Each structure stands twice: as structure tokens, then as C-alpha cells.
Structure 1
Amino acid sequence: MGLLDGKVAIITGAGGGIGREEALLFAREGAKVVVNDLGGTRDGSGSSDAMAAQVAEEIKAAGGQAAPSFHSVATPEGAAKIVKTAVDAFGRVDILVNNAGIVRDKTLLKMDEGMWDAVIAVHLKGTFLCTQAAAKQMVAQGGGGRIVNTTSVSGMLGNFGQANYAAAKAGIYGLTRTAAIELQKQRITVNAVAPIAKTRLTEDLPMFQSAGDTLTPAHVAPAALFLASDLCADKTGNVLAVAGAQMYIYKVVQSPGKFKDEGGVWTAQEIADHWDAIIKL
């Protein structure tokens, strides 16, 4: 018995890296998988059917069930067609993993609007569009389902040269939290993974030059499997970070703060004078 027996899962960006590992693992655990990938380069240019088709064939060769999808996550039409692929092939949608992504790194002062728009479109808008399309299908089926988004340490903490990527990933955190609240009554859980892994999007970053096999996509896939399974039926709105063998949770933390001793409105000087007390956790 697999954790996902009888389930239908859509995984975007599943032609390589983390998405591919998730697709293969989900299939081994019994899911019927829609392998979505536009097949472009790491900066989002171009397209090819080869990547999604190859992973789908790998799943079938291992005895699983899969259907490829070559649609863009960044348009309403593309998101709708991704969901339609699942319904046409397997009759329903139980799981969505939003993993598709591109990078166009540049420092803030050198980034142009096109670099910003392209990254926001795939990561943040794409996550919104696919989440909305899949959730509507889940509700139409009677409710229940799992949505797993992909945020990033860059979005949680920031990273040099990635203003567009970090903003998109931080936005996905906010989207995850809000969707978790709104979809809870429909029995749809919405969680996110924040992976640190060496993929074609990250392999040229200094931190991965000596990573070897300690930070691989294979380390991330089990976290997505957990969030997509009924083991996570009572958990929603979480960000599960994965860095090789380490797993941890990201949370926005509020300090206890400080009340103005005599009440009233703080002055800027008083804020400066009491800064350490205000920020103390």
C-alpha cells in the first residue's frame, strides 16, 4: 500500500530537479501523476515537450500511471489546461504541487522590469492560478485535497541578487497562509516546502559548489510527499524547510514588544531609546 494510492497528483515543473523527484516518488507511492513542464531554459525562455514526456515515460516504464502536460502555469488558460489534463486522463484532482520556477538573477539596481515580471509571473502568479484552478476542481468533486507550494529561504530571509525571486517566494508564503485559511472549510490543506537543493536553477550559486550529494532534490521529495498525503490531513498553513538531512519550520515571529510607559503616541526618539526592548524575543 502506498501513501497516495488512488490519488491523482499534478506536479508543475516536474521535468527536472525537485519536481522530477517528487513526480517519481509520488508515482511509487501509488499516485497517478500529471507531469507538467513547459520545457524552457532556466531563465524561462523557449519550450520543449521533451522534459515532461521523458519523466512521464519513466513513471510508466516503472509500472505507474502518468500523463504529460506542456502548458504554462503563468496564464489562466495554461492553468486550466493543466487541471483539464488531469481530469481527462484520470477523472479528478486530489493533489497539486506548485513547483514550476525560473531564475533571472540580477542586483536591484541592475534589474530591468522584464526580469522582474517574468519571475513573478511563473512563481507567484503561476502558483495563484494553478492553486485556484485545482481548488475549484477539488471543490466541484465534493471537497478535500492537498496543495503543496514551493517557497524558498530567499523569500523568508532575502538573498543578494534575487529581489524578483525573493519577492515572489515571499508572496507564495503569504498566499499559502491565506489559502490555508480560506480552503480549510473545504477540507483542502495548503502547505509549502522551502527547499535548499542543488538543481539547474541553483547549481551555480557558491553555496552549492561543494555540496556534493548532501543537498539534492531527493532530500526534498519526501517532505512534499508528507504534505501531500493523509499523514498531513490535520496540518495546514505550514512552511516545511528542507536542507539535506535537516528539516525545520519557518514561522513569522512576533516579539512581545513594549508598551509606552505613560501611554499615548510613541515619538521617533522614544522608539530609538527603547529599540532593544521592542525587538526582544
Structure 2
Amino acid sequence: MNVTYDYADTTVVVTGASSGIGRAVAQRFGSAGATVINADVRPDPKDTDETRPTHELVAEAGGVGRYVETDVSNVDDIETVVETAREFGGVDVMVNNAGIFRPGNILDLDPADFDRLHAVNAKGVFYGTQVAAKDMIDRGVGGSIINTASISAELAQFDHVQYDSTKGGVKMITRGAALELADHGIRVNAVAPGHVATEISEGWSESAPQEVRAGEVIKHVPLGRAADPEDVAGAYLFLASDDAGYVTGETVWVDGGLQVF
């Protein structure tokens, strides 16, 4: 069953929407009539055959698309994105999705890599939440903030310690912000994807989706397969909708049942 949402007259910011989950989320909001701003370091996926920028796909889907070059670890860039959103009435839905991945064992981690992951994955979510919330409060409106966490917020994996720690941080930023912003009518939730056939490392590998689908880890997923980005996108539309009007501080697990394995 396909659920139909109407996001006409709604402005959605999606960080990291040039590829992967963010791209799928942006297109789904666009198909529901939203104005979608892609806040990413580049407008389109790199080193793949998919060269069309996300904002064009959003417009093709029926929405209004816009791209703003953004490094989410730089608060000035986030403020520029929110200022751009004001051209369309202001941020109604903020999706803090941008993230990177680098593996490493605790005994061998490069502190610079650790800092970089936290700057993008955790600090980027903090900045996006803070700046979007201030815009909503200044305009006297409520809104929805949705952060991309991961099964890594709960499930430790070998050579993932620095990534896991960022996603644990995202989960707690979500809970703390939900508590502190509730009086303003702002709901804050997270989506925790499982194994998704995409690539979020700074060095894109076109073969990565196939590697994820064929990986040994998939045998532990009760539904028996990796997710495609489109499998995850619907959770964001639900959390932004009136159907989730009494939902805040939650993490929605979209992992094929891996959490119950």
C-alpha cells in the first residue's frame, strides 16, 4: 500500500541530498509537492552514471528544487541554507542527513579522522537542529526536525568505533532537543537505517551498493536483504506529517528487523 502525503506549501531542507538516502528523501518530498533545498558539498553524486543533480529530480517529481553548497560542519553554511529557506517562507522540515564513514580499529585510529567524522556526523546534526529550531521559533511556528541516525547508535561493529560514536551522539542530540524544543511545538525525531545499498564515505565507490547487498552481514537481517534508499525514505515523510503529530524524541528503526535478531 502506498501512502500519499501532501507537502505543498512546505519547505524542506535535506542535508546530504546529492546521493544515497538523502537523495531518495528529497525526491519523495518533491513528489509530495514540497519545496526541497539540497544542502550538500556538491549538487550531484560523484563518480557514478547518475549525473543529474537532485534539485532537478525534485522538480521533475512535482516539487520545487534548490541547491545550496553546504559543509554541514560549518555553522555559517547552515545559516546560509536557512536564510535561503526563508525565500520560500522558512524551514518547515529540517532533515539532518549528511554523514560520512571511515573505518578504523580503536588501537589504530587517526585522531584527525575521529574529529572529522564527529564534525560532520554529530556536530552537523547539532548545527542543523539548532539553526533550524531558531528559525522556527523566530517565525512563531512549530516544525519537524528529523535526524539520520543508524543501527550503529545501538549496535557496535568491528572497526566502527568512531562512526558508532557519532551515531550514538545523533540519537542523544535528538532526545535532548526533543525535550527542550517541545514547548515551542517543534518535534525532533531520528531515523535509524540498517544496511542500505549506498555509500557514505568521502571516497565514493560505485561498487559499494553491490558490496553491501552481497555482504556477509546481510545474512543476519530477518528480511533477508539490504535496503535501497527508497525503502528508508518513507519514514521521513511519516515523521514530518500530522500523522506523527504526537511523536517526538523517538528513533524509528528501518533495519529489516536487525534490531530484533
Superposed pair shares fold, TM > 0.5: yes
Q: Distance in 2 between matches of 1:143 and 1:219?
A: 30
1:226 and 2:226 equivalent? no
Aligned to 1:99: 97
Q: Distance in 2 between matches of 1:3 and 1:160?
A: 42
Q: Report the aligned-residue RMSD.
A: 2.7
Aligned to 1:189: 187
Find the partner of 2:251 among 239, 261, 277. 239
Deviation (angstroms), 1:135: 0.4
After superposition, give the CA deviation of every residue in 1:159-196 in whole Å (9 maximum; x if it has no partner).
Answer: 21111111010011111100000010111000000001
In structure 2, relative to structure 1, the CA distance for the partners of 1:63 and 1:224 (3 Å cut) is: closer
Q: Distance in 2 between matches of 1:53 and 1:91?
A: 27
Counterpart of 2:69 in structure 1: which amino acid?
A: F
In structure 2, relative to structure 1, the CA distance for the partners of 1:72 and 1:52 (3 Å cut) is: farther
Q: Which residues in structure 2 correspond to 1:119-198 (within 5 Å)? A: 119-196=117-194, 197-198=196-197
In structure 2, relative to structure 1, the CA distance for the partners of 1:109 and 1:133 (3 Å cut) is: same
Q: Distance in 1 between matches of 2:198 and 2:89?
A: 32
Question: Would you say how many aligned residue pairs link Structure 1 and Structure 2?
Answer: 241
Q: Secondary structure at the match of 1:139?
A: helix
1:56 and 2:59 equivalent? no
Structure 2 unaligned blocks of 5 or more: 202-207, 219-223
Please identify the structure whose Cα radius of gyration is greater. Answer: 1
1:14 and 2:12 equivalent? no
Deviation (angstroms), 1:220: 0.3
Q: Distance in 1 between matches of 2:132 and 2:56?
A: 24
Q: Distance in 1 between matches of 2:93 and 2:143?
A: 6
1:209 and 2:214 equivalent? yes
Structure 1 unaligned blocks of 5 or more: 250-281
- Asked if structure 2 preserves the Cα contact closer than 8 Å seen for 1:240 and 1:248, the reply is no
Q: Secondary structure at the match of 1:121?
A: helix
Which structure exhibits the higher relative contact order, with contacts defined as CA atoms closer than 8 Å and separated by 6 or more residues? 2
In structure 2, relative to structure 1, the CA distance for the partners of 1:32 and 1:52 (3 Å cut) is: farther
In structure 2, relative to structure 1, the CA distance for the partners of 1:16 and 1:206 (3 Å cut) is: closer
Q: Distance in 2 between matches of 1:57 and 1:234?
A: 33
Q: Secondary structure at the match of 2:9?
A: coil
Report sequence identity in percent. 37
Counterpart of 1:224 in structure 2: which amino acid?
A: Y
- Asked if structure 1 preserves the Cα contact closer than 8 Å seen for 2:13 and 2:93, the reply is yes
Q: Distance in 2 between matches of 1:236 and 1:200?
A: 29
- Asked if structure 2 preserves the Cα contact closer than 8 Å seen for 1:242 and 1:248, the reply is no
